[in-house]
Structure 1
Amino acid sequence: MTHNELAELYLPHLQPATARRTLHRWIARNSALCAELAATGYSIRTSLLTPAQVALVIRYLGEP
């Protein structure tokens, strides 16, 4: 899944670029989520998220 796809699930009412930036801000503000994502090799520059990374985001942010 891409960052854009995940962001659009959480924020379907926003433009894709705005949704992506908002999701990135939510992730950046959650230090525990950032730490766990970093352990999986996550980078804000990575375009594709692994299923494990998507699961972490959902665990911390809730279902989209």
Structure 2
Amino acid sequence: MKEQQHFRTRAYGRTELAQLYSPSLAPSAAWRRLAEWIDRYPGLAERLAATGYQPGSRSWTPAQVAMIVEAIGEP
């Protein structure tokens, strides 16, 4: 029996986090999908920007990851 992994809030690379949400997609496609979800969720992009996140950023802080998970759920 395979043990279920529990998601841990920590710093993630943007593609690393995106692939947790869309493991069947190529890394770049997974990132585009996560970016779309962030843009579509009301107020999420603005909340992330208020923490210093910029569209070209390559990583997420634990606080930013928590905001994403709160908005769209655990991967």
TM-score normalised by length of structure 2: 0.81
Root-mean-square deviation (CA), in Å? 0.8
Structure 1 stretches lacking a partner, 5+ long: none
Unmatched runs of 5 consecutive residues or more in structure 2: 1-11
Greater helix share, 1 or 2? 1
* Corresponding residue for residue 2 of structure 1: 13
CA radius of gyration, larger in: 2
- Structure with bigger RCO (C-alpha 8 Å, 6+ apart): 2
- Give SS of 1:31's match: coil
Runs of 4+ in 1 over 2 A off after TM superposition: none
Return the alpha-carbon distance in structure 1 between the equivalents of residues 57 and 42 of structure 2: 18
Are 1:20 and 2:26 matched, yes or no? no
TM-score by length of 1: 0.94
* Percent identity of paired positions between Structure 1 and Structure 2: 47
Tell me the residue number matched to 2:41. 30
Aligned length in residues: 64
